[in-house]
Amino acid sequence: MGFKRTSAQLLLTVAVAFFSHVSAGIVPQTLSFRDVPSVANVTNATAQAVANAAQQKTMIRGVNLGGFLVIESFITPTLFSRTNNSAIVDEWTFSTLQPRDQAARLLQGHLDSFITERDLAMISDLGLNHIRLPIPFYAIDVAPDEPYLKLNRWELAKQVVRWAGKHNVRVIVDLHSLPGGQNGYDHSGKTGQNLWASNQTYFDRSLAIVKIIASEFSKPEYGSTVIAIEPVNEPVTNLTRVAEYYSHSRDIISSASNSTIVTLMDDGGPQNLDSWRTRPAPHNMSAMSSHPYLVFNDADILSNRTEKVEKICALGKMYQKFNDEEMYLVVDEWTPAFTDCAVNLNGRGRGSRYDGSFPGSKGRRATCQGKVGPGSSFSAGYKQMLGLMWEAQVVSYERAAGWMQWTWKTEPGFAEDWSYLAGVVHGWIPQDPTERRFNVTCP
């Protein structure tokens, strides 16, 4: 895959765009699981067609547009601090604990500036070929008893897909939050609320939103830009109910798209992956996703680099087996970050396990100094660690259908160990995603 500019020109463009807080980018015309029904549960004739198609596909290498249409306080901390209310921790409180006109003004300013066409162009220039676009349910449907600000988020989602198509980037549309909440995390809309699976009204509303998304992005004007729709992000609930939801979603998406858009199913955590081999979830026109984060529990925080690389390699082996035997699997959220030191990462104002400031954390590992804030302030050792963690995961996850890092960018000066763009600017991520500097190999 050739670059459109020389390395020096590209890096200069990246740096200028990054520090002015504007960016862009996307892929060639082939990709991993587009138009492929499944690897399992198909007829012999179809299986041969799948095998032939798979040989012509391109490894997924991409990024998430996190913190854009679904705001998160660790990605854009000053969007929250400008409210002058420390109790505002998610979109529910963002819409209820400040004057509504102020909330709308702050949020609209963010939506207008955080992601532009230049981001899509830059992503493409960096040799990446996919984006994952998280969308909240309230971009499309807000009930009378819900305070969320819809604004023009749905129109912006459609605009991003058009930009992606213009720059030859493929898109996975991710329904990142569901009515009632699917996990209780802040990015589901309302922290602590996890009612979606147990409430039929919420369940049915979600399917209606999936239908709207599938119908929109099946229109000829988008061409083949949208290759998959992910009907739920990180469900923390009854997986039998989730499997039922996937079956309904797959039928809706396949019908709306004439079987050209894949249903991407979140496994609910790598620990659940094997259970999907036997659950009555759809296989035809489906693929699996997984989010193997290694910074959100004490055991992972206390692991050293060797232990983390070993765990990453084990995950890759598991993903490869599932990818080969069941259906295509893409790791569509992960981070090279070695710590949870980023401001607000564990919730606004909740501290980190790494330095022992997170409530209930069992043992402080070390100070966050040199591992938090802008990438320019990271120690040389931490930058090297980030490079190793990035390469180990890329190598491992390419044993399956590929990867999409969380996230493309953060507000400058914050959580830059999570930012692909900052990683390129400061050197721990190579400009060419196929370059390997550490010679990581997994057994």
Q: Is residue 250 part of a domain?
A: yes
Q: Is residue 436 part of a domain?
A: no
Helix (H, G, I), strand (E, B) or coil at 336: coil
Predicted pLDDT of residue 58: 83
Predicted pLDDT of residue 37: 32
Residues β-bridged to residue 264:
287
Task: Write the pLDDT tens digit of every residue in 406-441.
Answer: 999 999 999 999 999 999 999 999 999 999 999 999
Predicted pLDDT of residue 35: 32
Q: Is residue 391 part of a domain?
A: yes
Give yes or no for residue 21 having a pLDDT over 90. no
Q: Is residue 435 part of a domain?
A: no
Q: How confident is the model at residue 54 (pLDDT cuts 50, 70, 90)?
A: very low
Give yes or no for residue 170 having a pLDDT over 90. yes
Active site residues: 234, 333
Number of domains in the chain: 1
Please report how many Cα atoms fall inside a 13 Å half-sphere around the Cα of residue 51, on the Cβ side.
10
- Domain containing residue 371: 7-426
Give yes or no for residue 16 having a pLDDT over 70. no
Give yes or no for residue 3 having a pLDDT over 90. no
Q: How confident is the model at residue 19 (pLDDT cuts 50, 70, 90)?
A: very low
As a whole number of angstroms, the distance between CA 51 and CA 33 comes to: 11
Give the CATH number of the domain where residue 319 resides.
3.20.20.80
Q: Is residue 376 part of a domain?
A: yes
Task: Write the pLDDT tens digit of every residue in 91-129.
Answer: 999 999 999 999 999 999 999 999 999 999 999 999 999
Q: Is residue 419 part of a domain?
A: yes
Predicted pLDDT of residue 364: 75
Give yes or no for residue 271 having a pLDDT over 70. yes
Question: Among 20-24, 193-197, 360-364, which stretch is predicted with the lowest mean pLDDT?
Answer: 20-24
| 225: preceding bond cis by omega (within 30 degrees) | no
pTM: 0.89
Task: Please report, in angstroms and rounded to a whole number, the separation of the first and last CA atoms in the chain.
Answer: 27
Q: Is residue 437 part of a domain?
A: no
Predicted pLDDT of residue 279: 83
Q: Is residue 431 part of a domain?
A: no
Mean residue pLDDT across the chain: 89
